[in-house]
Amino acid sequence: MVFGDCTCESEDTKHNKEAALKYKLGSIASILVAGAVGVSLPLLGKKIPTLRPENDIFFIIKAFAAGVILATGFIHILPDAFDNLTSPCLKENPWGKFPFAGFVAMLSAIGTLMVDSLATRLLSERSWLHFLPHNPVGIAIGIGISTVYNESSLTALIVEGTFNAAAAGILIYMALVDLLAADFMNPRLQSNLRIQLGAYISLLLGTGCMSVIAKWA
């Protein structure tokens, strides 16, 4: 139930912005390094057979990564979106009468499907050139915005909740469609029970590890 007659005050004890800034800056470096490694592996695989993406071990690794992404969307981001968009600080009408978080996540997943299907052919040959800096640039923009907005304002709740829901929809789509469906429908995995079981276990480990982290997040 959402009520519009409460007051929302900033709670500085819950958020240490200086400490958070260090983690955000560290995440930029981590994403750049991890992204560079991920882009380099297929290129190196042309010369080093062990690093070729079609090797069996990559099915296991990708299943774990998909589990992490799936749990991030369902366990970490989507609940935050529901918390934001059902906050007692927002008016009962319309925020308490419709599940906006789930609706936005659904539209986000559908939008991702449309973009994915329409743009894959156009961007497939050069997508790696612009994908790598996207997350660090987004983090940098977020850091800049966080210094000037009031996170307890009604506008911040709506904007943050909407973007959280959209991000959750994108992550869930990517995990289920781009990673899991593509690999688990692969004839090579379908015909090898050992790899299939390994991928299932790896998927469960990925979702489990990321879900446990939510206890301290």
- Give pLDDT, residue 121: 64
- pTM summary value: 0.77
> How many distinct helices (H) and strands (E) make up the chain?
11, 0
Say if CB 138 and CB 19 are below 8 A apart: no
Alpha carbons 170 and 198: distance in angstroms, whole number: 26
Per-residue pLDDT of the chain (217 residues; tens, 9 = 90+): 444 445 555 444 445 667 777 877 887 788 778 777 877 777 777 777 766 767 788 899 899 999 999 999 999 999 999 999 998 888 888 898 999 999 999 999 999 999 888 877 666 545 444 445 555 666 666 666 666 667 667 888 898 899 999 999 999 999 999 999 989 998 888 899 999 999 999 999 999 999 999 888 6
